[in-house]
Amino acid sequence: MRGVLVSLSLLFVVRPLTGWLAQLGSAAGPRERVVTAFFGIRGIGSLFYLSYALGAQTFHVPAEELWAVVAFTVLVSVVLHGVTASPVISRLDRLRLLRAKRDPATGPEPDEVDIANQRL
């Protein structure tokens, strides 16, 4: 149970918060920063990093427990982000298009560049 709580806090608190903080001052709009922070960097690299860490250090937690937490986190991340990525990105694209159409500088028929330049 402790491993599940660690995994879920990594996916829903730690990664989104650090991803959001890392983007402060970027050109992305607030909605874009939230989406990028939520999806973050894919977790498959965690398997490599854990393997390296276990070879270089000793930990006070059994290696099997660490492998279980990392594997569970990657699995939940792949499923969660696989299910939510397309609808979330489609929503951002629709919002960009609406904002571009309302922008007096782009007119009623904005091109792809006009749409892509909209910050959400």
**Distance separating alpha carbons of residues 107 and 114, to the nearest angstrom:** 10
Provide the pLDDT for residue 117. 80
pTM over 0.75: no
Q: ∠ CA(92), CA(95), CA(97), 5° rounding? A: 110
Flag whether pLDDT at 113 surpasses 90.
Answer: no
Provide the pLDDT for residue 42. 65
